[in-house]
Structure 1
C-alpha cells in the first residue's frame, strides 16, 4: 500500500484528529522553539490535520503557512478545519516541492519524514526552497534508538526509514544543512498505567512504557540553511 492510500484511510476514519492529539504532547515544545517571526512563510511537511500551521499562524503571526501531505484526504480535511485565508493545504510528494527557490523561511515536519521514498532527495529539496538562514525542524518518534517504536513497521502497511540519531545529523549535513541541534523531547503527558495492568498496548512491562515516552519521546533534529 502507498503512503497516500494508507493515510487516505486514516483521514476517512477521522484518525487525523487523533494523531494531532497524541503528537501535541511533544510537538508544542518543539514548535515553541521555532524562530518564526511575523511576516514569514512556513511549510508543514506531512501536515496531517494541519494543527502545526494553525498554531504558528495564531502564536507567531506567520504571514503564510502551507501544509503539504501525500494523502489527498488528509489535505482536504486540514483545509476544512480552518477558514484562515493565509493557511493553504496541498497534496503532493516530499521529493518534488511546488515552491520556488529560496521562497520558504521555515519548515516543520512531525511524524512524516520517515515515510519519504527518498529522504536524501527531500533534504536536498528543502535546502533548495528554504532561504539562507531558513530552518528545518524535523520531529520523529520512530528512529533506531527508540526501540519500542520498531513494531510500528508491522502496524503501518507502508515502507518506513529508520535512521539512527547520528544518521539524521550526517544526512542533514550531506544535503547542505548546518545541524543546529538535536535532542529528545520527553512525552510527560501520556498516562502510564500501574505495573499490575501490564502487558498493555504492546508493552510487556511498565518500565518499557516509561522508556518509550519519558526517556525516548520525540527526536528533534534542527537544520539551518547556510
Structure 2
C-alpha cells in the first residue's frame, strides 16, 4: 500500500486540511503496523521516497506561499495545521536518514511540544518509540535532540524504554552534556513509583553507582 499512498501526494488538492490529516494519519498508522511484521527492511527505497514527498512543497518565501494552490505536492512538513505538521514530523523520523531533515523534524517537534496540544498529540500517537529509536544514532546533534524531546515528555509518558537509556549510560564516549540530560530524565522518571521495579531489574542503580565512582569530580552537576 505504501507506494500507492506515496502517489497520493501528487493527487491531493493543495488546500484541503481534512484530506491531509487523513492521509498522513493513515500513513503513520501503516508505518506503525509495519513494525510488527518483517516487511520494513525490504521497503527502504519506498520509505525514503515517502519521507521525501512529505518534505516536498514546503514554501519558504511569500511568493511561494502565494502560489501554494498551484503546487502538485500538498504542504505537510511546514503545515500551519499542528496535527498535520506533527504527524509529518513523525513520518520523517521513521523514514528518512538524512541528518538535515531529521534535525529539522526534531527542531519542529521540540517547538510544538511546548504547547499542551502538542503534548496531547505525542501521547495520542504514541510517539515515544519513534524518538527513542534515534538514541542509537552516532550523530551527537541528533542524539542531543532526541534526548531533549525525551526530557520534555519525561513526566507525561511512563518509561517503558529504560533499556535504551541503560545502553546509552554504558557508552564510554558519551559527552558530559548528554549524560547530564540523561541524569535529569532518570531523576524525573524515578519519581514515578511504577518505574522502580524496571529500574532495579535493569540494574541501573549499579550502573549509576559505578559512574559516580569513576566520574570526574570537576563535573559537579553530573556528580
More strand, by proportion: 1
TM over 0.5: no
- Normalised by the size of structure 2, how large is the TM-score? 0.28
TM (norm. structure 1) is 0.28
Which structure exhibits the higher relative contact order, with contacts defined as CA atoms closer than 8 Å and separated by 6 or more residues?
Answer: 1
